[in-house]
Every structure is written in structure tokens, then in C-alpha cells.
Structure 1
């Protein structure tokens, strides 16, 4: 196989840093990597990349050669799977900070919405399949619907295609893994970034690493940020965060890294627009209507301990253990179009916009530990890189509601499914906006009790192996068993119910890599994933959004949903190994799908009656075209289809929240030592609203999809001036064309998330 170790990138960045005179030496000379000193080379490469990223801001890195998950045993170019790596340089230069914004720009990734009962927070959909529970941090699952920030992230990895061998339950379309910043004994440094801009944008981040001695170090990352949503004055976002990382190496063979992480996010949520069924478009130029009392608050607290022990030259033990608590709560205002009732005293029959309330809370407590034994050994004449793993996870999720009352008098009468109701309209009888929209309802609230108590305890065993069959063929295989005990005490429309059952899940992964030439690898891979009944922790007994299907007796008898993926691909290292090019054709088939029955809001369900398929192609670029030009790009063209359903009318329809085509391109050009500029472009084709992982809503009478999210494109720009080795200035222009666009739709179209408007931000970076 191509021996593209991380030294390729390390060597190039070291050379660049020496040119600019910014990086301290980390070794007297650069060694040649071979099998005998691979570990030493990898360690030096890690240090080199980290040093250049921190001290060599003029040498921006848009490619990383290896996954941060140590269970991925080969470099990415030799890995039989599509894995996109977003580096910290790329993320910072894009101007994006929340993980949701970073991911939604990527090809093959779309967003979903929250709703009553489904906690508002980050929701990702990868290759057409729900991934809100498939988010990981340093290889450990990060449960709960929360706001996620990038201030303590070194890079983000998006694995495409089912990967339950690595991830456990879920991961139907892929998974997201964030690699956090860690303390290092190799250097001491400090970095402060201060930003200000339009929409009252203020952001301060600090990154400080202190090598205490040769064996221990401390790193601090801090965040304070506040802004209005661009183009939506009064829609506020506030972030406060802190991560402490401490590393100590008691001996040459034993090391510990301990991390404590805290994030407090306080937002005023904006549910954006809604789908106008008459015009077949979202309503444009909608006024800000969030109420003064609205909030979306997330608080995350975690502690992680990583231990690595080198038993001998061939055996290494790695453990990562985390305990965490997340809290997410929200009261948000929705908006829909309707007409005043004929009995309305002000303007009977007039078109208007009426307000509604969405609310809920979620508390998550979890503990997880993962043991990996890495064994390099010779067997049957082949050198094998084996991983034997054990993982234990216990997740407890309490979901509940608020009791909300509106204390201000209503101002209109509107009709609905439940007859005429007194309501709050933001348009007067002449169609003009009323005064003081934000104080129209006068909400008061108290936190109510839990209506779903979710708990899942999982014990997992897995084995993986990577070996060289011949000089041209590499084989990867993996097997995993997950045994879980599940319980969920729910209340609601179906009354009080206790769901309690256990099951075992089995998954596998097989990949073959063929070295066609010195710069080209071809691969084929087969992988599976498994989803359990009620696998989404935020839904209780609501089958329609990934919650439990059927009665407690039926749910216990349900088979897991099964996902199979076949992928053919190629990877090239071009321009002297500076640029990686990838191309893949894939087909994902999900069978035994749990489906809701009755209307779209039914808590009933059928078990294992659905089947769907996604097939497509994906192309990617990452790295340097020249010494001055860096790019990261990805493009997907996909097609989805319902193959089987309890409702024959669904067969042949597309999946909901699914974009057939998407494209992302980020470019950075540095013509000289003092100046760099670039930007990114993202495009997403139209998609259709509906329940996740099933058919998009369809209007059979008019032969068209019911809810349409229009296609959109967004252009962001940046320019950087390097004043000195210590001082750098950057300007970011977000949504440079000031396009009004929508990123996701609720299944009924009653709200559609708005993308950010144009913004301008300036950042000062000081290093010491």
C-alpha cells in the first residue's frame, strides 16, 4: 500500500515554518519513517502539525492524513471508507463556530428540525439518514440534543456510510467525531483571538499550553461570545466555554490525559419562516416574532480520562472513560399563516400570521468507558494490526415539558382543527405588523415533570484487523456485538407505559484496498449498522420521529432496523502527496424500518415494515494544489427511494430531509508572506419535509411533494493579513450575497429554519 504516513504532511509544514521562522525545533533532524520507527514518526508528526498550526499561522493546513480515532489503523488514503476531515485552520478561516453550521455546509449532510417532544438542538442527517444520536467526541458517544461549539476542537471527522462496528447502535448514514485539543509536553504557547463585527458580534477565545516539565503539561481553552443572528435583530446567541486538559507521563510507557469541559449556550431561538402552501414557497422577509420570554439553553459538563500503556513493542492498551451531564431546555415561538375567523371582530376573513408555542426540556447523565488492546503480530505469514475492544455505556435521559401560560389579552380569532380559538396575530386588520411583537403574548412558565424516562445500558465487544495480504492488497475486517438493556417510562396520549426489553446486535465491516499505482488506491467495502426500536432518546412513545413504535409488548418483539452499505472507491495522492483526491459510489439499504401509522402525529406504529435505499456518488479534494493554493471540496449526487412500506402510496417516494445534490468548496490562496485570502461556496438542492427516515410528505391529488425546502447557495469570504510573527488580522464576510435561504423544514411546514444573513467580522490573533 501507499506508505503515506503523517510525516508527509509534517515534513511539508516544518519546511514552511522554517521558511517563516516561526516554529521551534522539535527534533534535530527529520527521520525516515519505516516499520521499525513508525510510532516515533507518528508522534513527531503529531507534534509537527500541532506546532505549525499554532506557531505557523502562515502555513494553513487543509488536510490531515490520519483519523483521530486510533482504531482506524491505516492512513486515510489506505482506509476503505469515505472519511472527511475538517481541520481547525479550515474551520477558523471559514468563520463558522457552531458545529451545526460547520457540518451543514458539507456535501451529503443536511439538517433536521426540532418540535414539541423532540428537543431543539443539533440534528444532522448524513446520506439521508438520521444521525442526531451518532455524534462522538474523541471516539466516545456524545448523547443528548445540545448546542455544540468548536472552540476546543482540533478537527472534525465525518464518517460516511454505516459504521456500527466502530460506533455501536445507529450510524445508518455515518457518524460525526470531534477531536479535542489536548495538553502537550512538547512546547509552551499562548494564543488569543478577539473578534467583533456586525449584529453585535463579539467573540473571545484563548488557547494556552504550558509544559510544566518533561513529563506533564496543562492546556486551557476558553470562550466568551455574544451576537445577534445575522439579519434577525434580537435573535441572540451567547456562548461561554472552558476546557482544561492535563497530561502526565509517569514513565516512558504510561501516560494519562485528563480533560474537563464546560459549555453554556444561551440563545433566543428563531423558528424562521413557514411553508406557504398557496405559493409553494416559504414566506419571505418575515418579521422577527420571537417573544421576550423565549429561550434555548444548553449546558454541557464532561470529564474524560485517557490512559495509554505500552506493554511491549507489540502490545498497547488504551482506555478512554467519560462521565457527563447535559441539560437542554427551550420555549420557542412558532408562526403560521391563516385567516381570521368570520367571527373575528376586527377583520373577519383577513389573512394573518398567528403565533404558537413550542417547549420542552431534556436532562442527560451518562458514563462510558472504552478499552482497546492494540496488538501487532505475525500470523499465517502476514503482519496483522489487531484491535480487541470492550465498551460499556450507561445513558439516562429525562424528557419533560413546561407549563406555559400567556398573560396578555389575545387580539384575534382564528379557526383550526379544534374550532375557533382566541389567538395572537402579528398582523393587524390592514395587514401591517402590530407594535411590540416581542411582548405580544406575555408568557409565564414553570418547569413540569418528566414525561419520558429513557435509560439504556450497553455492553459491547469488538475485534478489528488490518493486514497486508500481498504487496498490493490490504484487508480490513471488523466484527462487533452490542448487548443492551433498555427501559423507557412514558406518559402522554397513550397513558402511562413502561417499555422494558433487552436484545443483542451484531455488525460487521469488510474492506479491501488495492494499490493500483504509487499514487492510486482502489477499494471496495461492505459495512452494516443497526438501530433499535426507540433508539432516539428524545421521543418517548412517539414512533414518528424515531421514538418507540407499538405497545410495550410489541416493542419488545420488534427486530432491529438493519442497514447495509456497499461502496466502491478510489483515492489518489497527487502534487507530491500534497493533495488527496477521493471518489466513491455507494448504495445504502435500510430494511425492517419502523413506521408510524395513522396520521403524521400518531404514537402507534408498525414494526419492521419499511425499506428504503440511497445510492449515489461522492467526490472529495483536500490539501495543497501549490505552495500557495489550498482547497477542501466535496460533492455528492444521490437518489433515495422507498422500497417497501405498510402504506403502498409511499413506495417510490424520496426520503424526507434529503438533498439529491450538494456541493462544498473552500479555497485559500496566499500570494506572499503577508497576505492570504479565500472563501467557501456551498450548494444544496431542494429537499422535502416529512418524518425522518421515511417518505417525504406527498400530495397525491396534485401529484407533488407537500413541503419543499428550496435549493440554495451561500458564499463566504475571508482575507488575512500577517502583520508580524505574533500579530495577525482577518476579515470574514458571511453570506456575501445576502441570500435569504432555508436550511430545514418541520414535517408539516409550520416552521422552516432561516439561514444567517450577511455579516462582517474582524478578528485579531495574538500569539505569545
Structure 2
């Protein structure tokens, strides 16, 4: 393998070669019979002609570059992707008429992030949320104010279930901003996340071994190896082991084990077959972070919160998927592809939450401020089958070149949710609650010191209990898209998708009584727009897109209507049969500039997303009831987003963006919600990562993430607020800096140092609607990684 970009200069030059044979002038004179005297001037001229002359050849610079196994990469620009991993995007990223942020493997490695949640959350326009009752299953994304936890895809197929997702087998991560139901189906109101996996190639053998050590008992080892079996077969394997304490929050910890194997077979010149297996085992002792204390205007996160996670706590996620891909080139202008995936995952958690309280006077310790502990738990088993077939046809009609894509997709997703039987004992204080005072577990004593044995204080005994929700959705989808070249400068695009789904879900209560919910419906969504290539390296585009989501579309929350569960109409207690799908409409005006010979992409986009017919949780006299209000909500997000990725100079590489947005509730069954912002929504967010290649061997860089203040609450709704209209659960703004540096030891080995949260800032990613707990960002941490290329 060639070493990474360390330039070597070879000087080509030296004396010109001489010819020992007589000059052609002398040979000609002799043939004419000229005398010696007459030949003398010719001899002098010949001698001058034969004299050595200095070479004027210019130096040749040979630059060594690493082998790049990612077929979508921009050559020579490690942070920039040229094309999408989803082949339904027919144009390069710089010409695709939508806002797509692509994060490449080198950019992800430099950032120091490994879990998909951290990778995605760093990007502008995206925040995180919490679930009902502190649901800790996995990643919960909010894109442009819209819930997107079920809008995660792997190689263009939906990845259902609330799993923990890792990047060890990821080639690039693609974040599409704005509705994309014509590509992705139900949901995707604010956008979608697509993880493009590492695939085998017959181009070359490749192997990279990485191992790292760091603070907080950090260790991480990966292997990425591609082996060419022959000119028609190859295999690629990726392995992972990782462990660390949550920085500054031990005994909370994280463990990751993974394997991904890809096999490529080329039976004929026209036929390509790829088989993939992905397996992941995540084992965490989860830390639910801090909590809010005080009253407005001084309500804020509590400081110096001890680690209260209990030793028996866990957050486990097991994932196994098998994917087959077939591609057949029928003719130069027609090809067909098929993707089939069968997968299952088993997820479960028992986690400890904390909320600020003042103990009751009857407590022997007296009256003092502390925090009491609570239990949050659940399990989820996921089984799914997906099959997607796409027919690509290039055809000229009436002198215009069309690029058609016709799609057929079938998905069968089943998710069984359940509970754990958790028995706690050893209460040490009396705390207030909704039903009055009761015994509880306080984490500090009257002096403010953590109580003895805090991490085992609840004496937990855990067993797996019954299921409470059996969620099933089967969908058949048809789609058609076209990109047509209207002229040298104008391109039009459009697409339609029809989804027919059958929803069949059964809920089981504590007395084992079951309630079945069944209904069927159709969704029709599309996108349309145009691109004007007003100069060779720049375009202006306009797009209009729609999306739809179904009642009960989130599989993890049962009948919790306000969090995307099944919404039951309190008026007729039927609900889902009479509900309409939630619908989203988006308009976007954007521009893309592919500068510096394709090495730098600058983008800007103005957008508006309006969501109609939103399902809302209906309030009652004591708070929020378990029933809902059908299609009573409407909200809107307006904003502008800027992006930049690529080489600013030969030595300086950048990736980042800025999102300035405003959200507003336009309609609600609660009049006081109207005019307010959306929950867990940041008006401003930004990210920038810069890498400077100081010498051929040494590079260093910085990453900076900013997020403005946001307020906790339910998805698609206004945050909590007081009687005077002030938001009651504020989550402070923050700026976090990360540093990294790399050194090329030799052509096969390099070292990389990452320092996360270098200023050791306390910051919070998301909050529960009551402020009872706040997900806390990692404290300062450092890792040193050795990479060796075979």
C-alpha cells in the first residue's frame, strides 16, 4: 500500500546523451568529395552541435496517497464525498437538488465520535430527544424539529427498532434534510439518516488494524480487511471491540462488540451479487445524567450530581442482519437491482433516573434539598423482512434524456415490547410525589455528601416480565422517479411514491387483558423541482416535497399518543380507524457551488416545513390523559442552512455547517400552545471541523459544536410552560471543543490523538418533559490510536 499524502519530489535531469558517430553534416560533405579545408567549418559546427548541454527538464513531484476503498469518495479530498451511497440519487452530491450532508470515514475518525448518535447530533439542524418514562432504548433524533427516531436507514433500507448503532462498519453517513417520503416511505418528515456500509471490492487487497487506549479505561480495537479471491470474487471483514467508562461518570460504562462481513461475486460481466452479515453486541451501564433544579428565571441543571447509576442497571442491544444485493445490467441503458434484508434485534434496559426534591419533615434527616431515584425499564424484540427492487432506465424522448427509476418495495416489521419486573428495597428518605409523600431513595444526605453505597442503594432484583405491545406493520410500496435534462443549463426532477400499509397491533395490560388495533390506509407522496446550472461549477435549485406518517407509527411507546404511539380519540374511543395520516409539506430554495476543481463544496438553502394533522396528547384536569386528540395539531419550521466541505487550501480541509431556524405551533387542541416553539428544538446550531496538514507527516485540527437553548417536552408539541407562558424546562446552550492530531510514523503506520470536550464543559443533550433528568454530554476525555496498514 502507498503511504498517506506525504509528498516525495524526484529530480529528473542531468547531462544529455552524446552520439559517438559522425555528424550528418560531415557525412554529407565527405560524400560530395569536399577537401579538408572546406570541411573545417563543418567540423567546428558539428563539434558545437555535439557538445553536452544542461537539461532543462522540470522536477516531477510524485504524491503518495492512501488506498481509498470508498467508491463514493472525492479523490484526494478525505472529508468530501462525490456521490451518494444510495444509487437512486442519480447525480453527484454537488448536483443533487436537495440538502444532503455526507460524513466520510476520515471525517468521522478525526472527530473522535464512534456511536452514530454522537456523529449525527454534532451536525447543525439536529437535536436529540428523550422518550416517555425516560425510554433509553437507543438513538432518538430530531431533524429540523421533526421526530426521526424511526427514520434511520442502512444502505437505503429502513433499520427498524431502537438499537444502539456504531460506525465501525460505516463508509459514510448521509443526512437528508427535509421530507423524503418519496424515497423512504412513511415518516421522514424532517429528513432521514442513511448509513452506507463498507463493501468488498475486487480492485485491491486492503487491511487496516487500529487499536487505541485512553482515559476512563478507554480501549478500542478494529480490523478492516479486504481480500481479492480472484478477478470475480472478494471478501471484506470488519471487527470491533471497544470499552470505556462514561467519562467522569464511572461506574457507568459502554462496551461494544461487532462483526461485519461482505462478500462480492461477479458471475458474469453483467451480474453482481453481494452478501452481507452485520452483528452488534452493545452492553452499557447507562447514566441518565443530571436534572433541573430551582424555579424560573433561575431554573437550571443541578451541579455536582454524583453518579447514581445502580450496579445492576443495563442497556443491551443485540443486532443481527443478513442482506443480499443483486445488480444486473440488462443493456447499456437498463439495469435492475434488488436488495433483500432479514434482521432481528433484542434490546432491553433498566436505568435509574433522578429528580430534584426537598425531603419531607417526617424524614429523620430533616428538611434538605437532594434528589430521589426512580426506575425506568423495558425490552424490545424486533423482527423484520424488507425487499426493494429498482429498475433504472435511461431513455431519450422527444430529444430529451430521461433517467427513470421504477421501484417496488415490501416490508414486514414486527416489534414486541415488554417490561421487566424490578424489585427495589432499602428506602432511606421520605419524598413528595403526585400521590403525596412516600418512602424513596435520596442520593445525598443533609450535608450534601453522597450517601454511602450509592450505586447499590436500591438493592435491585431484576427479572424479565410479560410483553405489553405487539406492533406489526406490513407495507407494499410503488415508486417512480425521473430526472430529465431540459437544456444545457436546466434539469427537472420529480417522483411519486404510493404506500399501502396494514397496521395490526395488540396491547396487553397488567391483568393480561388484550386490546387489538387494526386498520389499513394508503399514503401518496412526491417531490418535484428544477435545477439551473448557471455556471459550470454552480447551480440554483428549487424543490417541493411531501411526507406522511401514520397513527401509531412509533413502535416503542404503545398508546402514548404524545410520543408517536397509538392515538385514541377520547370522543369515540376508536381513534386510529378515523384518524388521518400526519402530513408534511416542504419548500426549499438552495444553491451549490462545487469549487476548486471539485475539491470544495459550498451550499446554502432556505426552507420551510409545515406539518399538518398532528396527533396530540389531550390534557385533562390532572395533567395529560392516556388518550389523544386526532389530527388537531399543526406546526411550522422556517430556516436557512449553510454547509461547507472539502479543501480550503492544499493544506486545510474543512467540514461544517450553520442552521438558523424558527419553529412555531400554528394549531393545537390546547389554545395556549399556539405561537410557541417546538420541544427539544434549537433555534441556532453549528458545527465546524478543520484539519491542517502542517507537514507531510503531521496534521492537527479542531472540532467545535454549538447549540442554542432549547426546552424539554413532547415531540411535535410545545415544551412545558408556566401559567405566565414561560418555558419551564430550559436546557442551556453550549459550545464544545474537540482537538485531534495525527502523525505518520512510516508508510504503514500512523498515530492519532483525540481530546474530547477539551474545556471540560458541563453540557446537556436533551431533557425529559418534567426536567426530571437530562442526558449529559461526555466530560473531557483523551484517546491515542495506532493505525497500521498491511
Please state which band the TM-score falls in when normalised by the shorter chain: over 0.9
Closer/same/farther in 2, CA of residues 98 and 711 from structure 1, 3 Å limit? same
1:345 aligns with 2:368: no
Counterpart mapping for 1:649-664 below 5 A: 649-664=672-687
Report the alpha carbon displacement of residue 346 of structure 1 after superposing the two structures with TM. 2.5
Give yes or no for contact 1:457–1:485 (8 Å, CA) kept in 2. Answer: yes
- Which residue matches 2:613? 592
Task: From 241, 248, 265, give the equivalent of 2:282.
Answer: 265
TM-score normalised to structure 2 length: 0.90
Name the CA distance, whole Å, in 2 between partners of 1:550 and 1:49: 57
1:707 aligns with 2:729: yes
* Cross-structure match for 2:350: 331
Tell me how far apart the structure 2 counterparts of residues 660 and 114 of structure 1 sit (CA, whole Å): 21
- Number of the residue aligned with 2:314: 295
Match of 1:571 among 592, 608, 617: 592
Task: State how far apart, in whole Å, the 1-side matches of 2:186 and 2:123 are.
Answer: 24
Q: Could you say if the C-alpha distance between residues 84 and 547 of structure 1 is closer, same or farther in structure 2, counting changes exceeding 3 Å? A: same
In structure 2, relative to structure 1, the CA distance for the partners of 1:342 and 1:507 (3 Å cut) is same
Per the alignment, do residues 318 and 437 of structure 1 end up closer, same or farther by CA in structure 2, a change over 3 Å counting? Answer: same
Which of 615, 623, 632 is equivalent to 2:638? 615
Distance in 2, Cα, partners of 1:128 & 1:459: 28
1:219-618 matches, cutoff 5 A: 219-278=236-295, 279-347=298-366, 349-407=367-425, 409-492=426-509, 496-550=514-568, 553-598=574-619, 601-618=624-641
Answering whether residue 758 of structure 2 is matched by residue 740 of structure 1, we say no
1:453-490 Cα deviation digits (max 9, x unpaired): 00000000000011111111101100000000001111
Alignment-derived partner of residue 42 in structure 1: none
CA distance in 2, matches of 1:193, 1:15: 16
Aligned counterparts of 1:725 and 1:692: Cα–Cα separation in 2: 50
Q: What residue in structure 2 maps to residue 643 of structure 1? A: 666
CA distance in 2, matches of 1:52, 1:220: 13
Tell me if the contact between 2:613 and 2:634 (Cα under 8 Å) persists in the aligned partners: yes
CA distance in 2, matches of 1:618, 1:107: 8
Report the CA distance shift for 1:511/1:594 in structure 2 as closer, same or farther (over 3 A): same
Deviations 1:687-730 (A, max 9, x none): 011000111111133x3101111000110010100011101011
* Structure 2, gaps ≥5 residues long: 10-64
C-alpha distance in structure 1 between counterparts of 2:632 and 2:510, whole Å: 24
Structure 2 Cα separation of the partners of residues 649 and 234 of structure 1: 43
State the alpha-carbon separation in 2 of the partners of residues 268 and 610 from structure 1. 38
Matched residue SS, 1:597: strand
Whether contact under 8 Å (1:544, 1:601) holds in the other structure is no
Q: 1:626 is matched with which residue?
A: 649
CA distance in 2, matches of 1:95, 1:20: 30
How far, CA to CA, are the matches of 2:519 and 2:76 in structure 1? Answer: 54
Note the alpha carbon deviations across 1:426-472, whole angstroms, 9 max, x for none.
11233321111001011001111111100000000000011111111
Residue 147 of structure 1 deviates from its aligned partner by 0.5
Deviation of 1:119 after TM superposition, in Å, equals 4.9
Aligned counterpart, 1:665: 688
Give the superposition deviation at 1:627.
1.5
Structure 2 CA distance, aligned partners of 1:743 and 1:190? Answer: 36
Rounded to whole Å, the distance in 1 between the matches of 2:528 and 2:8 is 45
**What is the SS of the residue equivalent to 1:292?**
coil
Please, what is the CA RMSD of the aligned residues? 2.0
Write out aligned runs for 1:30-179 (5 A): 51=68, 61-116=78-133, 118-179=135-196
Is the CA contact 1:314–1:377 (under 8 Å) kept in the aligned structure 2? yes
Q: Structure 1 528/69 Cα, relative in aligned 2: closer, same or farther at 3 Å?
A: same
State the distance in 2 between where 1:50 and 1:258 align.
23
Partners of 1:647 and 1:134 in 2: CA distance: 28
CA distance in 2, matches of 1:641, 1:49: 48
| Match of residue 726, structure 1, among 740, 748, 765 | 748
- CA distance in structure 1 between the aligned counterparts of 2:83 and 2:70, rounded to whole angstroms: 16
1:671-682 matches, within 5 Å, as 671-682=694-705
Q: Distance in 2 between matches of 1:468 and 1:717?
A: 45
Structure 1, unaligned stretches of length 5 or more?
A: 1-12, 22-47
Q: Which residue of 1 aligns with 2:37?
A: none
Query: For 2:222 and 2:8, how far apart are their aligned partners in 1?
Result: 25
Where does structure 1 differ by over 6 angstroms across 4 or more consecutive aligned residues? 13-16
Larger radius of gyration: 2
Counterparts in 2 of 1:243 and 1:601: CA distance versus 1, 3 Å? farther
Q: Is the 8 A contact 2:402 2:483 kept in 1?
A: yes
CA shift, 1:50, in A, is 5.9
SS in 2 for 1:704: coil
CA apart distance, 1:603: 1.6
Deviations 1:134-173 (A, max 9, x none): 0000000000001000000000000000000001000000
**Cα distance in 2 for residues equivalent to 1:57 and 1:657:** 35
